[in-house]
Amino acid sequence: MNFFVPFCIPFIVGAVAMFITLAWKWGLWLYRLPRADKKRIVCGLPTRATLDAAGEVVCESLLHRRIFRVNPLLGYMHMSLAFGWFLLIAVGWAETIAYVGFRWVPLQGHVFFRYFATGLPHKPVFAFIMDLLLLFVLSGVALAWGKRFFSKRMGMRRTTRHVLGDRIALSALWFIFPARLIAESTTCALYEGGGFLTGTIGAWMGEHISTMTLLTLESVAWWFYSSCLGIFFVALPFSRYMHIFTEIPLIFLRRYRLRSDEKESSYDRFQVDACSRCGICIDPCQLQSVLGVDNVQSVYFLRDRRYGMLRAEVADNCLLCGRCAQRCPVQIDLNTLRINSRDRLHNIPAERRYDYLKGVDRSSGTGKVGYFAGCMTLLTPRTLVAMERIFHAAGEEVWWADRDGSVCCGRPLKLAGETDAACKMREYNTELFRKHGITTLVTSCPICLKVFREDYALDGIEVLHHSQYIFRLIQSGRLAIERGAGQFTYHDPCELGRGSGIYDEPRAVIEAIGLLLEPVDTRENALCCGSSVANTAITDGQQLQIARSVTAELEATGAGTIVTACPLCKKALGRGAVHAEVRDLSEIVADAVSK
């Protein structure tokens, strides 16, 4: 049997072009990985991580489990296209083997098998399964069409605006399966066979269309099908569909503990190209929902970065609240990518910056517990006074790191992309903490907390947020609290919740004091106050607009007091609140301390 006819050419050319481009891209990215990352891959290969990654590939790249969590219909659409197409290919191979036995069949032989199999005996079981799978995929295509007009039904208020290359690939993809249906049906009309779908349509065509027309139609249909495949394959590595193949190595590399960092690296390419531009990140973005800014969301940021057209206005206009990363079905480390893009755009050498820091030490007190209020806390003196009362009530000997002025933790610099300068802050503060021999470091600022935990080398010093510290004091009985009749609602600061995973301690503390009422968006889905230090682009008025929308939601709980655990959030919500009082966690604790 000869598995070649001229209409196979577009498909073959497309497939070869795609595989060469893919091999070249992956090879280059892997080759450019830092040595440490390569070592991680080699060490990880023979471990369990490989099996886990394979499992994750099935769950995510084929079944799209995480999208099902966003919306079942949206999940079904993605699954039917990915898993359905995969099954079409896999069952197609099995079908070829069933027909011609174990012999080598070229790629186009499998793909266009129905065209070549006309002379062979009919196998109704395979015909049925293949038709069922084709219907499965076609239902996904129909939903994808429908999503253009009824995106809300699929859990998305807004969908991605695509660039021209994506539109070409998208159109080709949408035509592939209807084209296949017509091509196979015409062949069935001429030679009989086929299942409930292609067979029925074929029989109908055979009755109503003359054989001569059918012969022409068959040729045209198969040429069209092959061309759609060819165009799609050529466009794939340069369009959003690169995600189909990039997500797979990304899952493996992530399991081998490769991570993006504040400096760009080759691993980032896997993350950037793994974005499918599904647009799930658009809806949670408050810049979009509150301010109507619609060109800076992660999907557009990644697209611009991938095609080398990233502008500072896009990279800088982000709160880094992490709401998009929390929903991303590919789990791309969006915040870190944004930070290292900013690093590339804004970082300046800092050898001689901050020379004035030498010999500065305005700390006071002695104690194994250090308290670093943080710059912002110095602007919310009530928090500072409350902490002092709590320390006193618990009988804690405290070293006050920055009550009379200090050096910033360095995170705002890092978030602005000046990572080398942030290093200087880290060096200074680390030295200060070491010099005073503390074993516990308490901070009231989640921004400081995150940088202390992730970027400082503070081995031997336990870093705690004041909510955790207060929770421990209450639990161990060192701090006696009187429960009152107050009703509170709690606002999760981004850097504390999504950033550091601290959700339960502040809630436990509030519940020890009064009644806790949860707002609509809470814990992982909590809103950002809008004043994030990560955003240097939006204006004061825009910050206020976001703050008002957030406080409106918090006030809707009916609580008289909005509690938060971040001085910056407190300032922001305080401006947005209409009738509720905004207080820091430490303040309500200090008020509830038994006299």
Task: Select 273 or 495, whichever has its Cβ closest to another protein.
Answer: 495
Question: Tokens 């409350």 belong to which residue?
Answer: 386
Q: Token pair for residue 151?
A: 């995106």
- In whole angstroms, the minimum distance from the beta carbon of 377 to another protein comes to 10
Q: What is the 3-state secondary structure (H, E, C) of 293-343?
A: CCCCCHHHHHHHHHCCCCCHHHHHCCCCCCHHHHHCCCCCCHHHHHHHHHH
- In whole angstroms, the minimum distance from the beta carbon of 420 to another protein comes to 11
- In whole angstroms, the minimum distance from the beta carbon of 503 to another protein comes to 25
Rounded CA separation 253/399 (Å): 43
Task: Select 159 or 536, whichever has its Cβ closest to another protein.
Answer: 536
Strands laid side by side in the 487-491 sheet: 515-517, 487-491, 561-564, 581-584
Q: Token pair for residue 268?
A: 């980032």
Rounded CA separation 212/153 (Å): 45
Task: Select 402 or 492, whichever has its Cβ closest to another protein.
Answer: 402
User: Taking Cα atoms as reference points, which of 562, 530, 527, 559 lies closest to residue 544?
Assistant: 530
**Which residue type does 126 have?**
F
- In whole angstroms, the minimum distance from the beta carbon of 256 to another protein comes to 35
Q: Are 231 and 172 in contact (CB under 8 A)?
A: yes
- In whole angstroms, the minimum distance from the beta carbon of 531 to another protein comes to 8
**How does DSSP classify residue 481?**
B
Task: Select 379 or 458, whichever has its Cβ closest to another protein.
Answer: 379
User: Taking Cα atoms as reference points, which of 329, 326, 327, 335 lies closest to residue 302?
Assistant: 335
Rounded CA separation 137/89 (Å): 12
Task: Select 543 or 557, whichever has its Cβ closest to another protein.
Answer: 543
Strands laid side by side in the 369-372 sheet: 398-400, 369-372, 440-443, 462-465
Task: Select 108 or 406, whichever has its Cβ closest to another protein.
Answer: 406
Rounded CA separation 325/333 (Å): 6
- In whole angstroms, the minimum distance from the beta carbon of 421 to another protein comes to 8
Q: What is the DSSP string of 341-394?
A: HHHHHH----TTTTGGGTT----B---SEEEE--HHHHT-HHHHHHHHHHHHHH
Residues that bind another protein (CB under 8 A): 346, 348, 353-354, 356-357, 360, 375-376, 378-379, 405-408, 410, 412-413, 416, 418, 421, 425, 531, 533, 536-541, 544, 568, 571
26-32-36-38 Cα dihedral, nearest 10 degrees:
30
**Which residue type does 145 have?**
W
Helix (H) or strand (E) holding 37: helix 35-44
Task: Select 19 or 354, whichever has its Cβ closest to another protein.
Answer: 354
- In whole angstroms, the minimum distance from the beta carbon of 315 to another protein comes to 12
- In whole angstroms, the minimum distance from the beta carbon of 346 to another protein comes to 7
Rounded CA separation 82/84 (Å): 6
Q: Token pair for residue 198?
A: 């292609």
Task: Select 322 or 374, whichever has its Cβ closest to another protein.
Answer: 374
Rounded CA separation 514/309 (Å): 52
| SS3 (DSSP) at 564 | strand
Phi, psi torsion values for 175, nearest 5 degrees: -85, -20
- In whole angstroms, the minimum distance from the beta carbon of 374 to another protein comes to 9
C-alpha radius of gyration, the chain, whole number: 30
Task: Select 327 or 426, whichever has its Cβ closest to another protein.
Answer: 426
Task: Select 10 or 412, whichever has its Cβ closest to another protein.
Answer: 412
Task: Select 321 or 568, whichever has its Cβ closest to another protein.
Answer: 568
- In whole angstroms, the minimum distance from the beta carbon of 448 to another protein comes to 10
**How does DSSP classify residue 593?**
B
- In whole angstroms, the minimum distance from the beta carbon of 46 to another protein comes to 45
- In whole angstroms, the minimum distance from the beta carbon of 360 to another protein comes to 5
Task: Select 202 or 410, whichever has its Cβ closest to another protein.
Answer: 410
